[in-house]
Amino acid sequence: MASSTAPTTFSLLKTTAASSSASRTSASLLRVPSTRVQNPVPLRHSIGFASSVGDSVLSRSVSSRVRSVSGKGSRGVVSMVKKSVGDLTAADLKGKKVFVRVDLNVPLDENQNITDDTRVRAAVPTIKHLIQNGAKVILSSHLGRPKGVTPKFSLVPLVPRLSELLGIQVVKADDCIGPEVEKLVASLPEGGVLLLENVRFYKEEEKNEPEFAKKLASLADLYVNDAFGTAHRAHASTEGVTKFLKPSVAGFLLQKELDYLVGAVSNPKRPFAAIVGGSKVSSKIGVIESLLEKCDILLLGGGMIFTFYKAQGLSVGSSLVEEDKLDLATSLLGKAKAKGVSLLLPTDVVIADKFAPDANSKVVPASGIPDGWMGLDIGPESVKTFNEALDTTKTIIWNGPMGVFEFDKFAVGTEAVAKKLADLSSKGVTTIIGGGDSVAAVEKVGVASVMSHISTGGGASLELLEGKELPGVLALDEATPVAV
Ligand SMILES: Nc1ncnc2c1ncn2[C@@H]1O[C@H](COP(=O)(O)OP(=O)(O)O)[C@@H](O)[C@H]1O
Ligand SMILES: O=C(OP(=O)(O)O)[C@H](O)COP(=O)(O)O
């Protein structure tokens, strides 16, 4: 178990912790104390959707969305809100050919069976809305990263599940442009759905070639982008096509992702905690720096903590360390302190004598990692302390596992966080799972349905959390700007 006495190398953190007004958590925690709980939030992302995410984000009007972004601290910013498919009337849609970019990039097994249909299910609300309003729906997606036409990346395996979920027979095209596709589009009835073949079978897609985008656009009257997972790519079907199709609007899934990953994160119900884990600090620098601007409490776990430990002079054995990021780790600790964010590092870790599922393991304090051993999970005292910190919050965002959760022996910390978030979610805390491996962890524990939001995009959610703007979103029409 963890030692209750922090090592002398943590004297700075210990001292500040002792004088912290935020003394909710264990005194032994390695922390930068928080003095900020209800500070104004800088609104840095120009694309704003709702932050009051408890109610139906899909049905709110543009003005209410804009107003909700204008919470405390936004100082009269005119937020740019993207037009949504929900803003189109039945008259806008009836009989119209609608090009809908979805992300059906799902995992398939060796027999071409879908092993996780989350993205297919997530695409359904927009498609159903279009069907119910008498539109002719043309679906476009990529699958994998094919180089030219590659049968194993065909979208054929998607047809049965899509048809089942939509309750109608989806027609499949063998191509995504050309005369045969045009014939199929011409024969589509109102409320019919046509699935185009993998748009990445053309290299012009990823090159965002205007002529190719124009050909895709020529199939339809208007454009809906609901492919959140691919919104960070400026490709022909996600960005280029908007130059030839008006209106170009956001689908319900894209809108919901932005509501949570931008709206709820920029203007959270406080206290707001961010949990960041994963393998390396280098891949999460942008996320940590961006979240430090917004959160009250930052919990760190995963492989990156050993770089923080080493930066503080601790021995980390053979744990994962990025030697060239030691100064960065120290500067992030300093930034947290300067911003009044309570940054919590685990006080104990589960160590292993090798990187393997059957490794020998034991729990030691953060200051007690022997040579030849590596930290692969956070320890029980840290779980307890993290839980106590999370108990104080009203909004939580989580990105990255707390340990090597792929090995059962080292999945305990990650699963404990998943369970804690599920528990808090059921008590009204807004819980957002920001894509990547933390989604896999939440699904493994079987608590996915309880969370407020689980992102369908790994790379896209990471970029949003870093404060970047996504080309697939930027390209969409703006709703009428409202001064707030
Ligand atoms: N202590 C650790 N040592 C080595 N790898 C770790 C450790 N903790 C977590 N990881 C690994 O980090 C990986 C996930 O990291 P990353 O890709 O950055 O997160 P995400 O996919 O959530 O964005 C997982 O494969 C996990 O095994
Ligand atoms: O699966 C996807 O991204 P993700 O693995 O980051 O969640 C998207 O479909 C984007 O795919 P890409 O990374 O091949 O452009």
246 lines ligand 2 (CB under 6 A): no
Q: Give the relative orientation of helices 285-292 and 458-465 as an angle to the nearest 10 degrees.
A: 40
User: For residue 374, which ligand has an atom nearest its CA?
Assistant: 1
Mutate to test the pocket of ligand 1, among 349, 410, 437 (most ligand atoms within 8 A of CB): 437
**Residue 100 backbone phi and psi in degrees, to 5:** -115, 115
DSSP state of 391: T
- In the residue annotation, 280 being an active-site residue is answered as yes
Helices (H), 133-250: 158-166, 179-186, 203-207, 210-217
Q: Give CA 453 to chain center in angstroms.
A: 9
User: For residue 144, which ligand has an atom nearest its CA?
Assistant: 2
Distance from the alpha carbon of residue 279 to the mean position of ligand 1, in angstroms: 4
Q: Which of 161, 280, 384, 444 is catalytic?
A: 280
Taking only the tens place, the pLDDT of each residue in 310-338 is 999 999 999 999 999 999 999 999 999 99
Written as tens digits, the pLDDT of the chain (484 aa) is 333 322 222 222 222 222 232 322 232 234 433 333 232 222 222 233 322 232 222 222 222 232 223 232 332 223 358 999 999 999 999 999 999 999 999 999 999 999 999 999 999 999 999 999 999 999 999 999 999 999 999 999 999 999 999 999 999 999 999 999 999 999 999 999 999 999 999 999 999 999 999 999 999 999 999 999 999 999 999 999 999 999 999 999 999 999 999 999 999 999 999 999 999 999 999 999 999 999 999 999 999 999 999 999 999 999 999 999 999 999 999 999 999 999 999 999 999 999 999 999 999 999 999 999 999 999 999 999 999 999 999 999 999 999 999 999 999 999 999 999 999 999 999 999 997 889 999 999 999 999 999 999 999 999 999 999 999 999 999 997 665 5
- In the residue annotation, 119 being an active-site residue is answered as yes
Predicted local confidence at residue 482, as pLDDT: 60
403 lines ligand 1 (CB under 6 A): yes
User: For residue 457, which ligand has an atom nearest its CA?
Assistant: 2
Give ipTM to 2 decimals.
0.97
Taking only the tens place, the pLDDT of each residue in 229-254 is 999 999 999 999 999 999 999 999 99
458 lines ligand 2 (CB under 6 A): yes
- In the residue annotation, 302 being an active-site residue is answered as no
**Cα(443)–Cα(451) distance, rounded to whole angstroms?**
11
Nearest CA to ligand 2 atom 4: 458
Write the CA distances from 422 to 111, 140, 258, 325, 463, integer angstroms: 34, 34, 21, 33, 25
381 lines ligand 2 (CB under 6 A): no
Nearest CA to ligand 1 atom 26: 404
Write the CA distances from 321 to 6, 308, 315, integer angstroms: 21, 9, 11
What is the full DSSP assignment across 352-390? ESSSSTT--EEEEETT---TT-EEEEE-HHHHHHHHHHH
301 lines ligand 1 (CB under 6 A): no
Atom of ligand 2 nearest to the CA of 235: 15
Q: Give the relative orientation of helices 412-426 and 437-445 as an angle to the nearest 10 degrees.
A: 70
Distance from the alpha carbon of residue 278 to the mean position of ligand 1, in angstroms: 4
Average pLDDT over the chain reads 85
Predicted local confidence at residue 435, as pLDDT: 75
Taking only the tens place, the pLDDT of each residue in 259-273 is 999 999 999 999 999
346 lines ligand 1 (CB under 6 A): no
- In the residue annotation, 459 being an active-site residue is answered as yes
Side-by-side strand order, sheet with 171-172: 171-172, 193-195, 136-140, 97-101, 222-225, 248-250
Cis omega (within 30 of 0) for bond into 271: yes
Atom of ligand 2 nearest to the CA of 103: 9
**Cα(285)–Cα(290) distance, rounded to whole angstroms?**
8
Assess contact for 271 and 248: CB atoms under 8 A.
no
436 lines ligand 2 (CB under 6 A): no
Nearest CA to ligand 1 atom 4: 303
467 lines ligand 1 (CB under 6 A): no
Predicted local confidence at residue 436, as pLDDT: 81
